[in-house]
Copies of this chain bind each other. A is one copy, B any other.
Amino acid sequence: MKEIARLADVSLGTVSNVLSGLSTVREPLRQRVLEAVQALDYQPNQLARGLRRDKTNIIGMIISDISNPFFPAVVKGAEDTAFKNGYRLFLCNSDNDFAKEETYLHELQTYLPSGLIIMTSNINGSPALADAYRKAGSAVVYVDRLPPLWTGDTVTSMNEQGAYDATKYLIDLGHRRLGMITGSSTRTNSDERVQGFRRALREAKITISPEYVQEGYFEKQSGYANATTLLKLLPRPTAIFAANDLMAFGALTAIRDMGLRCPEDVSVIGFDNLDLAEIVTPALTSVDQSGYQLGAVAAQLIADRIRGDKEPKHTHVLPTALKLRASVAPALIDFETTVKKARGKPAKRSR
C-alpha cells in the first residue's frame, strides 16, 4: 500500500479511501491510485484490514461430515450466495468430532468472521460458543440441525411434514406394517422425521410395536444393519421408511441380501433425494429437500444481518416434496392381517 501511495504520489489515507470506495476523492487522484493498484497487482492484506476493521469478509461454515453426500449441495448454496455478496466461505469439517468442532469454533472466531453457518455435530454443545460469536458481532445461523437451546436464526427443511407425506403415501397404498430407521437421536432433524412418521400412523389409527422403529445413525451401514433387524421381525414389515437416503440405500442392499425383492416384498422410502436416488436399483422414492436452498438462505440471512437486519429471530423452514420412484409398490393383499382382523373384531364387539 505504501508503494501505491508512492507511485500515485498520494498519502496512505487517500489510497485507503479509494480502495474502500467510500470517500470523496477527486477523480484524477482516484485514477492515479487505481492505475498504481493495477500496475502493482495489489491485493489488500486481509489480515491487517480485518484487524483494523474488527471484521473480515469471511463467512465460516462448520459442517459435521463432508462425506455425507447431502452436504455439498448445502455448501454450494451457501458458497454461491456468500460469494455474490462479497463474502468468502471458509469451510471447516468437524468430522462428527465435537472436540474438533469446538476447536474450529474457538479458533475461527479469532479470525473475526462476518458470519458463521453451522451444521453442528452435537446439538447439545455449541450454542454457548455460537453466542460468543454474536456478542463479537458475527451473524450466526444454525442449519439443518438445531440445538434446542439456540435462540437465534435457523434454517431447516420441513422434516416433520416430509416424513408425514412419505408415510401417508405408504399407508394410502395399503401398507399397514411399517418400519422406520431413524437417524441418531442427537439430531433434531431425525426426531422431527420420526414425529411425522408417527403422526401419519396415528391418523390412520395404526399402532406398531416399538421394535419397528430402529435407531440408526444416518450412514449406509447403519441402514443395512437396521433394515436387517426390521426384516427379521414377525410379522415382517411391508415397507420401510429410512430417515435419510444413505440408510435407505443400505436397506436396499439388505433386502437383496436376504433374498427379498424391492418393491415386491418390501417398499422403501428415503429422505434427502440425493442424485443417487435415481441411480440405484430400484430407483429410490425419497423426500426431496433442497440442500442448495438451505445453504443459500442461510448465507443470505447472514448477509442481511450484516447489513443491519435487526429482526429478533428468523426461522426459515423450507418445503419438501415426495419424489415417487420404483422402490415403492402397493401392499399385497395381506392375508395374515385380514384373518386377524376377522378374528379380532368379533372379540372386540363381544366386550
Chain A residues engaging chain B, CB cutoff 8 angstroms: 43-48, 50-51, 56, 66-67, 69, 72-73, 75-76, 79-80, 83, 88-93, 95, 100, 103-104, 106-112, 220, 249, 252-253, 275-276, 278-281
Contact = CB atoms under 8 A, between A and B. Distances in A.
A43 B110 contact: yes
Given A92-B88, A93-B76, A93-B91, A279 B249 contact: yes
Contact of A43 (B91, B107, B275, B278): B107
A43 B75 CA distance: 27
Given A43-B106, A88-B104, A91-B92, 14 more contacts: A43-B107, A43-B110, A45-B112, A47-B47, A47-B50, A48-B51, A67-B76, A80-B95, A90-B92, A91-B93, A249-B276, A279-B280, A280-B280, A280-B281
Given A107-B46, A110-B43, A89 B93 contact: yes
A95 B66 contact: no
A19 to B, nearest CB: 12
B104 A43 contact: no
Contacts of A80: 95
B100 A83 contact: yes
A103 B84 CA distance: 12
Contacts of A43: 106-107, 109-110
Contacts of A104: 88
Contacts of A44: 110
Pairs A-B, 3 closest by C-beta atoms: A281-B281, A91-B91, A90-B90
A253 B276 CA distance: 12
A229 to B, nearest CB: 20
Nearest to A91: B91
A76 B47 contact: no
A97 to B, nearest CB: 9
11 contacts: A46-B107, A47-B47, A47-B111, A47-B112, A83-B100, A83-B103, A90-B90, A249-B279, A252-B279, A276-B276, A280-B280
